[in-house]
Amino acid sequence: MLTIGKLGAEAGVKVPTVRYYEQIGLLPKAERSAGNQRLYGRKALERLAFIRHARDLGFTLEAIRDLLSLSDRPDQSCAAADAIAKAQLAEVESRLARLMSLKAELERMVVQCAGGRIADCRVIEVLGDHSLCATDHRHPEGEHIA
């Protein structure tokens, strides 16, 4: 049995994060030692590693919650799981497109600045006027910015 610290170290997750996952019901309530400390077995480690990996791939905790409950029903069709992964792929692709556009605009700004006074700074000028941009990089409503 692992203490929370060992568990976190094995899975690459910080201790408060493990407790947080338990709090929001992503991990089941852990067994406790005589002294009230959490104890984990191999199954909990696998579950936490799954969560960590899915987070690393950008899935939200909500999506991970669904994926975990699917993975608890091995005999069902995996269509729902695949749909979640495809949605995540689409999300990543859309962020990618936007970030490429941002990169282009930022590069233009930085390159065009001759490095003089603020009054002549291309960075400041472009930030004040989107019509100076080459692409329409604007934030589609409802999309997360990061």
Fill in the per-residue mask, 70 to 89: x = in contact with Zn ion (CB under 5 A), - = not in contact. Answer: --------x---x-------
Interface with its own copies in residues 54-113 (CB under 8 A): 54-58, 67, 70-71, 73-79, 81-82, 84-86, 88-89, 92-93, 95-96, 99-100, 102-103, 105-107, 109-110, 113
Instruction: Work out the number of other CB atoms within 10 angstroms of the CB of residue 4.
Output: 20
Determine which helix (DSSP H) or strand (DSSP E) holds 32, and give its type and residue range.
strand 31-32
Minimum separation from the CB atom of position 45 to Zn ion (A): 17
Nearest-5° Cα angle at 144, 139 to 105: 40
Does residue number 15 form part of the binding site for DNA (CB under 7 A)? yes
Does residue number 17 form part of the binding site for DNA (CB under 7 A)? yes
Q: Give whole-number Cα distances, 74 to 20, 28, 70, 83, in Å.
A: 27, 19, 7, 16
